[in-house]
Amino acid sequence: MTDKTSQARVLIFDTTLRDGEQSPGATMTHQEKLEIAAMLDEMGVDIIEAGFPIASEGDFAAVSEIARLAKTSTICGLARANYKDIDRCWEAVKHAKSPRIHTFIGTSPLHRAIPNLDMDQMAERIHDTVTHARNLCDNVQWSPMDATRTEHDYLCRVVEIAIKAGATTINIPDTVGYTAPRESAALIRMLLERVPGADKIIFATHCHNDLGMATANSLAAVEAGARQIECTINGLGERAGNTALEEVVMAMKVRNDILPFRTAIDTTKIINISRKVATVSGFPVQFNKAIVGKNAFAHESGIHQDGMLKNAETFEIMRPTDVGLSDTSLVMGKHSGRAALRAKLRDLGYELADNQLNDVFVRFKALADRKKEVYDDDLIALVSDQETSAVHDTLQVKRLRVVCGTEGPQEAELTLSIDGVDHSVDATGDGPVDAAFNAVKMLFPHKARLQLYQVQAVTEGTDAQATVSVRIEEEGRIATGQSADTDTVVASVKAYVNALNRLITRRKKTAPDADVKGVSYRDAG
């Protein structure tokens, strides 16, 4: 076995708060961004891309505060290839112990056509903007967006220009998830061979998952010499998402024999941060997702269960505890006290402040009165629910009563607190959920369209909690909400109201382009 310390070190660059947050509907609040950044820092992420400072006042404030608070991670901000973006980015990241400016421009024929720059004009722009960034900060990353569809000769030319202008990291994005592992490796190898000065900088890989090959492409790039992987928690990101942090890190750990690289990541923090990102982004993790899916360590078939009882290695290539899952089977019920709850939540990866614990404890007791056994997943749903609803939310569900059955129309009586004032209404609808949603619309009129309504049972049994996910859209703004309750209609209304609160936050962002999804990548000038 190779000595780990002699293995090549691969830097982990997490862009959950920038590329991940760009997924339609994944907008996070300022506080949520700070909490996720603290967790990334704590788990050993080398570089956190905290946002796109020019995109909005909110993004600027989040990047600045994350920069101030970061303990060990380098804090990076994104900037297009223009001085205004780069200056704004520097203003935000300069507070960090270790700041980085990441500037980019689309170099493929399709992307060059948009700002209408010819090859020479674009080369000049790259030289000028990277030089400008490097005059502000000694840690500069440059990305030729859509690198995998850029002509090889031109890619070599612009990478050389960026290196000469002072870029210390060159990121090679597969922006549209188009490449395949062999090609991904060949591209990095070609750049290392052909570009003068390539041995002096770090190559990074940034893969999108449109063909489901992002993780494989990232690892292939590393085998070819890339030494930074860009990724997100749960693979969050535009369209099919990005390389998932947990996948590349665990692949290098479990298959260290063929992927002999080391990272600084504490893998036992993976489950905790995965759950946090799923909750605040409103993007639940699919059950069969590698490493972090609910079924990743579940064994149902008789043969598998039998094998597991005899030797866990028969059907598990890593231990659940490696990623932070609990090994204990402390059963919680209505007689369990606060200390047991705290211990159980700690096992599940949640460290709650006293006031948060008090709130979860009250809700746990209420749940234990309704349900015989409270499973781990019930507790996770409770904590997640608490995390998504904030005391300062504009809308809060105070009371709901529904009448349903075979004889319609179904009815809902709802009391909603709007900006601290209680309002009540009676509504009818085609089913109890429709009636309750109509009541919300009567009390808080809006034009948002319901794009997704999804119910999942948290555990088994008719007394199981239901987790409801809702996605709404209003004039191009997308917001998601989630909630859990043993009463599916209550969970539905709370999820809907949670999505509306997020929409209200997004509406409050001032300028028309005051949102990261509203800033055009094209505006490179």
- Interface with ligand KIV, residue 243, by CB under 6 A: no
Is 51 or 173 the residue whose CB approaches ligand KIV more closely?
A: 173
Is 45 or 400 the residue whose CB approaches ligand KIV more closely?
A: 45
Number of chain positions touching ligand KIV (CB under 6 A) = 9
**What does the alpha-carbon distance between residue 12 and residue 248 come to, in Å, rounded to a whole number?**
9
The answer to whether the beta carbons of residues 182 and 152 sit under 8 Å apart is no
Phi, psi of 409 (to 5 degrees): -75, 150
| Among 175, 234, 384, 501, contact with ligand KIV (rule: CB under 6 A) | 175
The answer to whether the beta carbons of residues 136 and 98 sit under 8 Å apart is no
> What's the min distance (Å) between Cβ of 381 and Zn ion?
31
462 in helix, strand or coil?
coil
Return the residues of window 100-129 that contact ligand KIV according to CB under 6 A: 104
Contacted by 143, from Zn ion, ligand KIV, none: CB < 5 to 8 Å by type? ligand KIV
**What does the alpha-carbon distance between residue 28 and residue 21 come to, in Å, rounded to a whole number?**
7
CB-closest chain residue to Zn ion: 19
The piece of 171-179, 194-202, 348-356, 403-411 that touches ligand KIV (CB under 6 A) is 171-179
Is 106 or 349 the residue whose CB approaches Zn ion more closely?
A: 106
Cα-to-chain-centroid distance, residue 376: 23
Strand intervals (E) in 358-495: 395-403, 410-418, 421-429, 449-457, 466-474, 477-485
Question: DSSP string spanning 56-88?
Answer: -HHHHHHHHHHHHH-SSSEEEEEEESSHHHHHH
- Interface with ligand KIV, residue 145, by CB under 6 A: yes
Number of chain positions touching Zn ion (CB under 5 A) = 1
The answer to whether the beta carbons of residues 319 and 338 sit under 8 Å apart is no
x/- track of binding to ligand KIV for residues 190-229 (CB under 6 A): ----------------x-x---------------------
| Among 14, 19, 378, 473, contact with Zn ion (rule: CB under 5 A) | 19
**What does the alpha-carbon distance between residue 42 and residue 125 come to, in Å, rounded to a whole number?**
37
Is 78 or 222 the residue whose CB approaches ligand KIV more closely?
A: 78
Contacted by 289, from Zn ion, ligand KIV, none: CB < 5 to 8 Å by type? none
The piece of 115-123, 167-175, 428-436, 453-461 that touches ligand KIV (CB under 6 A) is 167-175
DSSP code at position 353: -
- Interface with ligand KIV, residue 143, by CB under 6 A: yes
**What does the alpha-carbon distance between residue 393 and residue 468 come to, in Å, rounded to a whole number?**
19
Which residues are at the interface with ligand KIV (CB under 6 A)? 19, 104, 143, 145, 171, 173, 175, 206, 208
Which residues are at the interface with Zn ion (CB under 5 A)? 19
